Amino acid sequence: MTHYHPAMGCVRVIGAGLAGATVAHLLHVAGRAVEVVEGDPTWGGQLRTASAAGILYEPAGAHIFHTADAEVWRLVTGLVRFLPYRHTVRTEAFDRELSWPPQLSELRTLPRWPQIARELAARPARPDAANFESWCVGLLGETLYRELIEGYTRKQWGEDPRNLAAGWAPKRIELRDDGYTDLFRDPHQGWPEGGYPRLVDALLRDVPVVMGRRVTVDDWDEVCAGADAVVVTCALDEFFAEHLGRLPWRGVRLVNHYLPGVEHALTCGVVNTPSPLRAHTRAIETKWMSGQTGPGTVVSYEYPGAPARHYPIDDVQGANRALARRYLEELAGLPGPPRYVAGRLATYTYIDMDQVVRQALNTARRILGEV
């Protein structure tokens, strides 16, 4: 952090992704001096929106804002206009395209329905939460699990599903019999007009931000100089130079195809590809989210296994979570002013955008009440 001269008497926020930007915005609105330090040359983290011939797409993967938290929704929609969009996902399985989550009404039309029906009838009263695979088999039966879940999971996480914890599965996987085909049931859903950078721009418009300054524990004294509090939103294993070991993360890369003269190439915004015979996990057509019309579209194919910190990996033994706690203890043990953490990277949790904003709201309130 050479040539960086920190401001005095402020709250310093490390990271200008959604979590850091929201904390900084809220503190600024409340009248607190705040400064953000971002390691990348631009702010926004993974909230990227690009365009090809004017057609918007997301080079870092699909982001859908959905929430039941009215306060979170008021905050983001008070900053930028959100287009009405309710997210629909389909999945390629059984040689056809099905709704995701799966609908019993569609499954009953499959040639393999008799076997599926027998397995569903034999399910336990409650799925076995010993690991991700046992929970999914207990919910869906063996056939649906193998066709819809196993291949996707192995590709996405690079792990045997039996090595993954079941904790987040109930929120992500279900079997429906109600005809409701939106992925999320949250009352508030949408996509920011023009893309997500406009939301981050609105959050940081009045906040001082230093970009291109990567901060590690070696810079801690400088970070704390004159600071009343420090908020850390970056990955803690990276911040501490992995001296306790590297936290396992799963990253993705996208290959984006511009298709001239095409209105839509997919049947909806996202189509999952669970087959292990195909390398990508899903195809994304942001044009469904952006509300754009006319010829030309971009389809993005998502490939897992990139060297990036996108998704924390919850192993069944809890070792990764335990290592994350050790890094939190390391941060707490550093000298200096009070420090706080927020966001997926710093907390090593698989959370949605509305949960990130909620963490930021709670963090800002703690700082205003404690510092």
pLDDT tens, 89-121? Answer: 999 999 999 999 999 999 999 999 999 999 999
Q: What Rg, from alpha-carbon coordinates, does the chain have?
A: 22
**What are the sequence ranges of the domains in the chain?**
10-47+197-249+312-370, 101-172
Phi/psi at 162 (5° precision): -70, -15
DSSP for 58-85, please give it: -TT----EEES-HHHHHHHHTTSPEEE-
CA distances (Å), 234 to each of 7, 17, 168, 217, 318, in order? 20, 9, 22, 12, 21
* pLDDT given for residue 149 in this prediction: 97
pLDDT tens, 164-221? Answer: 999 888 888 999 999 999 999 999 999 999 999 999 999 999 999 999 999 999 999 9
Q: How far apart are CA 368 and CA 366, in angstroms?
A: 5
Give yes or no for residue 345 having a pLDDT over 70.
Answer: yes
Give yes or no for residue 1 having a pLDDT over 60.
Answer: no
Beta carbons within 10 angstroms of residue 53's beta carbon: 10
* pLDDT given for residue 339 in this prediction: 97
* pLDDT given for residue 354 in this prediction: 98
- What burial letters (b/e) apply to 112-128, b meaning 16+ CB within 10 Å? ebeebeebbeeeeeebe
* pLDDT given for residue 310 in this prediction: 93
Q: How far apart are CA 9 and CA 225, in angstroms?
A: 9
Q: Measured in whole angstroms, how far is the alpha carbon of residue 278 from the centre of its chain?
A: 23
Side-chain-facing half-sphere of 272: CA atoms under 13 Å:
24
Instruction: Band the pLDDT of 7: cuts 50, 70, 90.
Output: low
Q: What is the mean pLDDT of residues 337-358?
A: 97
- Residues whose CB falls within 8 Å of the CB of residue 96, separated by 6 or more in sequence, listed in order: none
pTM of structure: 0.94
pLDDT tens, 224-251? Answer: 999 999 999 999 999 999 999 999 999 9
- Residues whose CB falls within 8 Å of the CB of residue 63, separated by 6 or more in sequence, listed in order: 46, 47, 196, 353
Give yes or no for residue 6 having a pLDDT over 80.
Answer: no
Fold observed for domain 10-47+197-249+312-370: Rossmann fold (3.40.50)
